[in-house]
Every structure is written in C-alpha cells, then in structure tokens.
C-alpha cells in the first residue's frame, strides 16, 4: 500500500498525463508546484522557514543548435532557493529541456539567459543557472558522501511509511555526520521510485542510529516530491529533544537525464554540487 499525502495538487496541472515531446523551444512546458501545499500540511511556517537551502538540479541531457545549425551539448546546473514560492516539477523540466534540441541559439550566453529567465519565472524567484561545456565536464567527478554510513546496522523493519515516533535521541551530545544509501520514496504523480543517498549532519544529543535507519527506510512506499521528503525529514529531526544544528542533504539518482539534490540547513550554506556514484 502506498502512503498518500494529505494535500491536493492544484487544478490545471498536466502532471502525469500523456504528453507530446517537443523539439523546439517552448517555455510553457515548465510547470511549478506551490511549496505551500506540503508546507502547510506539515505545519511549516512559509513566512518563517526553519531552514535555508536550495534545490540543486543537474541536467545531463541538454543540447541545442548553434547559429549554423550544429548541435551543441552541455550539462546544466541550476539552484532553486527554498524561498521560491514554487518548486519546479521534474517531468515538465525534462520536457522543457527537450524543447531546446532543435532550436538555434546565437551563443552559450543566450542559452544560459534563456534558461535562467524561464526557470525563474516558473519558480517565481531568481534561479541561478550555469551550463558546463564538454571541456568542463571533469567538474562532475564522483565523490562519495562524507560521513558514517549506517546501512550496516542489523535491524528489523516492518513499516514502510514515515513515522517520526521511531526517532530517538540518546543522553550524550555529539557533532557528527551520518549517511545512508537506503532512502527511497515514490513520485507523487506517477508512483515511480525515487532513489537517493542522504546525509544528515548535526550537533546535539546523539541520534539512535538504528532508530534513524528504520525511520529513513519508512519512506520506501511514501508518495511525495523529493523536496517535500527532505523537508519532512529535516522537520522531524529538528523537533527531537536536544537537536541543535542540523543539515539534511539528499542526492537523488537521475531520471530522464535530471538529478535533484535538495539541501536544507539551519546553520550552514549549501555544499558544492558533487555527484555520487549512482548519479
């Protein structure tokens, strides 16, 4: 059984419907989803967010034509701030990028400015965009998440929906970074699996690592967007006794040439975008 969210998507979105793939530039393909939908349901004060951060997208299948009609390729990196009223829906993002395939642009600067303008309009907030050319692709080398991986813990699991009551803290205080490669949720629209590695960096009373792993595995049949899952995890952890500084970063595997990496923190700035082996 899948776990449905307690909010409804706004009418007028074409998410989940059969679509025609367009090869010529069409900014109308982009669709935003109000962040307030899930934040209101979770009790997050949109006007006073408990975290800062960004959603970092990496687009590996970006191509366009130069002024002479010759194909060009690049890797897109964009940063959507958590303060944007809308998140960018991933399938619409992919369809939008496809629309560049047979479109001529006079320069790389024009490609970047077009992407920045359209994504900013979709998110209703300024979105930072950079396109890396093939000579710069070595910037996307594989770097594992740094921290103590807890996946080796021998636990018994019988629940696959999120349950914050599973989380526990111990009496002693620590400053540590924990990671797991076992995070999986499902797309809110299509129920397709979304796979991720997660990093949790914190200071405060020590997390019970077995309890944390059970909690993270609990997302396995949960239907929610990537960004919403990370914010739910952050808020559930932040509410624990003795939790002071906290960062949650999830690096999701790519789908349709796109990966998304939501970063939420109450004490530090987003990390450099470095992909993991599964991305």
Kindly compute the dihedral angle of the four CA atoms of residues 19, 20, 21, 25, in this order, to the nearest 10 degrees. Answer: -100
Q: Is the pLDDT of residue 7 over 80?
A: no
How much is the pLDDT for 6? Answer: 55
- What residues are paired with 201 via a beta bridge? 177, 247
Give yes or no for a contact between 69 and 77, defined as CB atoms under 8 angstroms apart. Answer: no
How much is the pLDDT for 8? Answer: 57
Give yes or no for a contact between 242 and 209, defined as CB atoms under 8 angstroms apart. Answer: no
Mean pLDDT computed over 163-183: 97
Helix (H, G, I), strand (E, B) or coil at 229: helix
User: The dihedral of CA 8, 235, 278, 271: what is its sign?
Assistant: positive
Give yes or no for a contact between 133 and 111, defined as CB atoms under 8 angstroms apart. Answer: no
**Which CA distances in Å does 142 have to 82, 138, 255, 273, 276?**
26, 10, 17, 10, 5
Integer Cα distance of 114 and 67 in angstroms: 15
CATH no. of 27-139: 3.30.1130.10
- Per-residue pLDDT reduced to its tens digit, 216-238: 999 999 999 999 999 999 999 99
Integer Cα distance of 138 and 142 in angstroms: 10
How much is the pLDDT for 4? Answer: 42
Integer Cα distance of 95 and 45 in angstroms: 32
- Per-residue pLDDT reduced to its tens digit, 117-139: 999 999 999 999 999 999 999 99
How much is the pLDDT for 137? Answer: 97
Q: Nearest 5°: phi and psi at 174?
A: -145, 165
How much is the pLDDT for 1? Answer: 33
Helix (H) or strand (E) holding 86: strand 86-88
- What residues are paired with 263 via a beta bridge? 54, 249
How much is the pLDDT for 72? Answer: 98
27-139 and 148-265 in the same fold: yes
Helix (H, G, I), strand (E, B) or coil at 224: coil
How much is the pLDDT for 81? Answer: 98
**CA angle (263 as vertex; 120, 267 as ends), nearest 5:** 115
**Average of per-residue pLDDT values in the chain:** 94
Q: Which residues are catalytic?
A: 187, 194
Query: Which pLDDT band holds residue 2 (cuts at 50, 70, 90)?
Result: very low
Nearest to 19 by CA among 95, 103, 77: 95
User: The dihedral of CA 90, 92, 98, 102: what is its sign?
Assistant: negative
Query: Which pLDDT band holds residue 3 (cuts at 50, 70, 90)?
Result: very low
Mean pLDDT computed over 143-162: 97
Integer Cα distance of 146 and 195 in angstroms: 18
- Per-residue pLDDT reduced to its tens digit, 10-21: 655 555 556 678
Residue ranges covered by each domain of the chain: 27-139, 148-265
CATH no. of 148-265: 3.30.1130.10
Query: Strands 148-149 and 243-252: what pairing?
Result: unpaired
């Amino acid at each position: 059984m899948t776990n449905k969210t307690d909010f409804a998507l706004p009418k007028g979105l074409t998410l989940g419907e059969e679509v025609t793939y367009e090869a010529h530039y069409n900014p109308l393909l982009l669709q935003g989803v109000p962040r307030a939908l899930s934040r209101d349901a979770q009790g997050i004060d949109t006007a006073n967010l408990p975290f800062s951060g960004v959603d970092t997208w990496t687009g590996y299948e970006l191509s366009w034509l130069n002024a002479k009609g010759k194909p060009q390729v690049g890797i897109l990196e964009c940063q959507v701030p958590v303060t944007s009223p809308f998140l960018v829906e991933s399938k619409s993002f992919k369809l939008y990028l496809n629309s560049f395939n047979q479109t001529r642009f006079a320069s790389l600067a024009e490609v970047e400015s077009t992407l920045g303008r359209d994504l900013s309009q979709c998110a209703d907030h300024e979105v930072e965009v950079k396109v890396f050319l093939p000579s710069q692709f070595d910037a996307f080398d594989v770097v594992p998440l740094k921290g103590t991986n807890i996946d080796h813990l021998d636990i018994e699991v019988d629940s696959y929906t999120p349950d914050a009551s599973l989380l526990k803290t111990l009496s002693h205080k620590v400053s540590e970074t924990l990671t797991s490669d076992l995070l999986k949720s499902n797309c809110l629209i299509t129920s397709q699996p979304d796979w991720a590695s997660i990093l949790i960096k914190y200071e405060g009373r020590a997390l019970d690592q077995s309890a944390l792993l059970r909690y993270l595995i609990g997302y396995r049949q949960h239907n929610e967007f990537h960004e919403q899952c990370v914010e739910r995890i952050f808020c559930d952890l932040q509410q624990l006794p003795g939790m002071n500084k906290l960062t949650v970063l999830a690096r999701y595997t790519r789908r349709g040439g796109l990966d998304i990496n939501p970063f939420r923190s109450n004490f530090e700035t987003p990390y450099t975008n470095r992909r993991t082996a599964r991305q």
